[in-house]
């Protein structure tokens, strides 16, 4: 089975995670994929492959030499984002891309165009895996799973490639922020790890946002509009006033790179009550702290204007920038860069404008930067991945194996 064949089989499993669920995994369908992965791993010779009670898949590729090579792991996640439909994915491989528009769905007039996505021009001459434009593809992160599995089979079949013990883990619920929470680091037994969960070929990430979530509840006073003067407190209007206090230039649509933002992604309101959810992101710890203080100040101003208890704020940190945990172990980055260069791929070190299982794992004691998968337009209906990018990612993973077999880290 090739890496592409593996991937196409994986995306046939719908594994959308559910933020409202209180179970782990959040959806039973992730367990179905977990069991399939265990079966495939056992078939290729990973004897200890298993899925635990929380839906985490583990396995080990045993060392095949006597060298003192550090045990490191490879991690990817099984769930797909709830931001776009993830059932009945109709994946197909295009002809070599000619630089023009790709018809995803003729009936619904859905196109994948370089006018909308200029990075498509980098894929001229390559075959792309796309959908019919009505679902996401699931390259985030089933491409990562397929690439790790392909590497495992190569190592188990070709005994001439010296390597140490390599741990493999596939996690549930990364897309809703829970993927690393219950990973058994002690049982995993690795000194270092990489998540294979990044985007375009060559991307290498070891900096991510600091993240928090603010949930704000507004208490209003409802009364007949004809008798409301001096009495009504319209929670919907107060919520609008609160949002208006936030800087419009610090939103996702107007920021990039290391720039942080506030993002209101939920608002439910009546005259009587309102609930808002705002996510807060920044790479810089001081700016992150200042953003949280800004939210607290905005809520205080609402209470000063409308009375104590009008705005109730619950502010919780979600994850932190893993940079400080990776810096003492920069061999992880240097070996990844060198492997990319050896494969003819230019390394592109970029900050993650989001989170990753690796951030949580790094703070739990397992340094874990993020490698590319080769995919594009994650979480959307026009997600795609070049076939050659998947093949190159496998080559990069194999190169890292070879480099660690020569090192003493």
Q: Which of 79, 140, 197, 207 is catalytic?
A: 79
Q: Bridge partners of 75?
A: 169, 195
The string of DSSP codes covering 148-213 is HHHHHHHHHH-TTS----EEEEEES-GGGT-TTTT--HHHHT-SEEEEE---STTEEE--B-EEEE
Going by their DSSP bridges, the two strands 110-112 and 102-105 should be labelled as antiparallel
Length of the chain, in residues: 409
Coil, helix or strand at residue 395: helix
Scanning 229-350, the segments in alpha helix (DSSP H) are 235-244, 285-306, 323-326, 331-342
79 part of the active site: yes
Give the span between the Cα atoms of 274 and 336, in whole angstroms. Answer: 48
**8 Å CB contact between 41 and 168:** yes
**8 Å CB contact between 26 and 17:** yes
Which DSSP symbol is given to 94?
A: P
Structure tokens at 115: 């006018």
**8 Å CB contact between 165 and 62:** yes
Residue indicated by tokens 């367990």 = 31
Contacts of 229 (CB under 8 A, 6+ apart): none
Q: Which of 132, 153, 174, 175 is catalytic?
A: 174
Short-list 80, 326, 53, 44, CA closest to 168: 44
Which residue numbers are catalytic? 79, 174
């Amino acid at each position: 089975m090739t890496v592409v064949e593996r991937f196409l089989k994986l995306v046939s499993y719908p594994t959308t995670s559910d933020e409202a669920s209180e179970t782990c995994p959040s959806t039973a369908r992730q367990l179905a994929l977990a069991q399939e992965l265990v079966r495939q791993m056992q078939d290729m010779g990973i004897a200890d492959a298993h899925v635990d009670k929380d839906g985490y898949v583990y396995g080990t590729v045993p060392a095949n030499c006597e060298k003192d090579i550090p045990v490191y792991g490879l991690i990817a996640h099984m769930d797909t984002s709830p931001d776009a439909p993830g059932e009945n994915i109709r994946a197909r491989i295009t002809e070599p891309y000619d630089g023009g528009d790709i018809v995803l769905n003729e009936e619904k007039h859905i196109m994948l165009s370089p006018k909308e996505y200029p990075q498509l021009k980098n894929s001229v001459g390559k075959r792309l895996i796309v959908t019919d434009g009505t679902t996401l593809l699931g390259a985030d992160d089933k491409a990562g799973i397929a690439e790790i599995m392909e590497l495992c089979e190569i190592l188990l079949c070709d005994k001439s490639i010296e390597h140490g013990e390599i741990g493999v883990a596939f996690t549930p619920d990364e897309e809703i922020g829970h993927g690393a929470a219950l990973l058994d680091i002690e049982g995993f037994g690795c000194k270092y790890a990489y998540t294979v969960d990044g985007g375009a070929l060559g991307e290498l990430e070891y900096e991510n946002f600091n993240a928090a979530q603010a949930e704000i509840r507004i208490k209003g006073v409802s009364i007949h509009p004809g008798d409301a003067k001096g009495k009504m407190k319209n929670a919907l209007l107060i919520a609008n006033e609160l949002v208006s206090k936030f800087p419009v230039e610090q939103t996702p649509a107007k920021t990039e790179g290391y720039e942080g933002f506030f993002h209101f992604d939920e608002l439910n309101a009546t005259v009587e009550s309102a609930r808002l959810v705002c996510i807060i992101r920044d790479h810089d710890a001081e700016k992150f702290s200042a953003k949280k203080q800004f939210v607290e100040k905005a809520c205080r101003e609402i209470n000063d204007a409308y009375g104590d208890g009008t705005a109730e704020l619950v502010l919780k940190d979600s994850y932190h920038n893993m940079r400080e945990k990776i810096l003492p172990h920069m061999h992880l980055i240097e070996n990844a860069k060198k492997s990319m260069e050896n494969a003819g791929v230019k390394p592109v070190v970029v900050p993650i404008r989001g989170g990753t299982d690796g951030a949580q794992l790094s703070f739990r004691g397992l340094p874990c930067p993020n490698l590319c998968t080769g995919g594009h337009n994650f979480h959307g209906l026009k997600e795609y991945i070049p076939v050659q990018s998947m093949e190159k990612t496998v080559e990069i993973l194999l190169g890292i194996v070879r480099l660690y077999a020569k090192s003493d880290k």
